[in-house]
Chain A
Amino acid sequence: MQSVTVVNKKRVQIKPGIIFIYVVLFGWALTTIYSLFWIVNNSFKVSRDVMNSSFKLAFDPVMVNYTNAFDRINIGRSYLNSLIMSGGTVLLVLLFGGLAAYVLSRFQFRGRRALFSILYASLLIPAFATVVPVYELLIKWEIVNTYGGLIFPQTAGNLTFAILVLAGYMSTIPKELEEAAFMDGCNRLTLFMRVLLPISRPAFASAAIFVFLWSYNDLFSALIFVSAEEVRPIVALLSEISSQYGTDFGLMATAVSLTVIPVLIVYLFIQKYIEKGLTEGAIKG
């Protein structure tokens, strides 16, 4: 009997603090979870119901917004455009960034430190500072409103970050590994492909994720370089919806849901890589 009261006493002492902590944490968690639930729930209602009873569960879901999203505003097309352009950007950034990072981290040569200084300095150049001349260049080359019109500037915009992250990771790989492979008759290129690349996979993975997210979410560049209907990515479509269909609440909820849900599902699968990238201090962009 006595031991029970002791236990109770202890609990009473700990409880208030811990409960408070969990209340705050669940409170914040609710803002992220409930917002998502609210938007998905409303995507299955007609606009009138979104307006009048947005908290009610959509017990008999209607698909009209989804058919509208695919037929009227062709969200599928924008999806495809986003995937192609962001995927292309990631590929170019990883390929060229990886090669440059390899040289900068594994070779000793004159001017190496200067190159690093230049790279750090270029982190200070925002897209705003280059947009006019880049736009002029793209017009001259006639690639405005083509996939390349977004891929090329975004590749340049993300390269610095990727090079610094990848070079940071590669410089921690022991030199002996390379020397052994060199003895086996590898040249620099096969060395890169067979030794550096596989070992640096975590760094490549986290760089890829962040470059993809930044590219996929970059509204500013999309509005300027690829605004035409056939090539515009999903963010440009979303901004168009807000001005064109600003009163169609159901359609807006559906468009947001369709943009958000696939990304979240992918996120749940690759979450550990993102955490790894952030944990290793690689990504502070």
Chain B
Amino acid sequence: MMKGDRKYILMFLLPAAAFLTIFLYYPFFKSLYLSFFRTSGFYSKTFVGFDNYSRMFSDDLLGAATLHTLELMLYVIVFQVGIALLLAILVDNIKWGKGFFRMVFFFPVVISGTAIALLFVLFYNFQFGLLNTILQDMGFNKVNWLSESMALKAIAIPTVWHYVGFYFVLFLTAMSKIPSDFYEAAKLEGISGFKKTFLLTIPLILSDIKVVITLAITGTLKVFEFIFVLSRGQNGTEVLGTYIYKKALVDQNFGYGSTIAIYIVVFGVVLSLLANRLLKRDEITY
């Protein structure tokens, strides 16, 4: 350690520590604290013990929002991660156009989710939307894409599409790090094509697949703008993000809203741990 280092350590850490304390740690513990109160606005609150928590367990809307979030998560894991992996495998196997596909597949990632959601408003519109125009031109009946039975699936499509490119690049990067002698050895053994993919490539990037699935899970918990713009949580599309927005900020129910916030944190931590657990077991089988 150099002379006077202690001074610099404190001086350099202080701004970041201050920001994190004021806008992250303090609010987090304040949320935990507020979750034990019944509130009316910011100024009056009564301690109610675990009342909010027992209310939470009998809150059907929260249960529905949780289920919708889980359903969306399923689509995201299967299709977003799946399509990203498929595209990465395909691009890894071609010689021409790699750079082009990397660039183009990443387009949606840099576009804001809100803009994409607005784009899909134009696709899904019942009267004049792109999809119903196509259906009518082909002689079919119009479909109400955002109806009770279809809305969540319809919203899952832009959600999935948005981030496929991100995971695609992560996968492709992981594949490019596989030493080429692995492939040469496989070639000598006569392993190629699909066999090579399943016996060599996928097992070797398994740890990256795990990271991506964890990211997909935590990412889905934050989904907000697609639902907010496309359906406002109507027709069976309420997710945790939109529900807490309604409870805590539209209704200004800060006490119960904080309880839901704590619930989302716990839910996220449990899901991440669960995912790590399950995926670990998978790895042993290879």
Query: When the two chains form their complex, are residues B173 and A279 in contact, meaning their CB atoms are under 8 A apart?
Result: yes
B224/A220 in contact, CB under 8 A: yes
Chain B 89-102 per-residue mask, 1 if CB under 8 angstroms from chain A, else 0: 01101100100111
Q: Quick one: which of B114-169 are within 8 Å of A by CB? A: 114-115, 117-119, 121-122, 125, 127-128, 130, 133, 161, 164-165, 169
User: Is the beta-carbon distance between B119 and A97 smaller than 8 angstroms?
Assistant: no
Beyond A241-B118, A255-B118, whether A132 also contacts B31 by CB under 8 A is: yes
Q: CB-CB contacts of A7-40 with B at 8 A, as 1s and 0s?
A: 0000000000110011011001101110110110
The answer to the question of A137 belonging to the interface, with a C-beta cut-off of 8 Å to chain B, is yes
List of B residues within 8 angstroms of A267 by Cβ: 106-107, 110
Q: Is the CB of B94 within 8 A of A21?
A: yes
* B29, chain A: closest CB distance, angstroms: 9
Is A278 part of the contact surface with B, judged by Cβ < 8 Å? yes
Q: Nearest-CB distance from B250 to chain A (Å)?
A: 10
Complex Cα gap A19–B262 (Å) = 51
User: Please, could you name 23 A-B residue pairs with CB atoms under 8 Å apart, sorted by A?
Assistant: A28-B164, A54-B130, A124-B272, A125-B265, A126-B265, A128-B260, A137-B23, A137-B27, A139-B42, A155-B19, A157-B24, A188-B4, A217-B113, A223-B245, A223-B249, A224-B249, A238-B118, A239-B114, A253-B122, A267-B110, A271-B103, A281-B173, A285-B215
- Using CB atoms and an 8 Å cutoff, list the residues of chain A in contact with chain B: 17-18, 21-22, 24-25, 28-29, 31-33, 35-36, 38-39, 42, 50-52, 54, 92, 95-97, 99-100, 102-104, 107-109, 115, 122, 124-137, 139, 152-153, 155-157, 159-160, 163, 182, 187-189, 192, 213, 216-217, 219-220, 223-224, 234-235, 238-239, 241-242, 246, 249, 252-253, 255-256, 259-260, 263-264, 267-268, 271, 274-275, 278-279, 281, 284-285
Q: Which residues of B does A touch, CB under 8 Å?
A: 1-2, 4-6, 8-9, 12-13, 15-17, 19-20, 22-28, 30-31, 34, 42, 83, 86-87, 90-91, 93-94, 97, 100-115, 117-119, 121-122, 125, 127-128, 130, 133, 161, 164-165, 169-170, 173, 176, 193, 211, 215, 221-222, 224-225, 228-229, 240-241, 244-245, 248-249, 254, 257-258, 260-262, 264-265, 268-269, 272
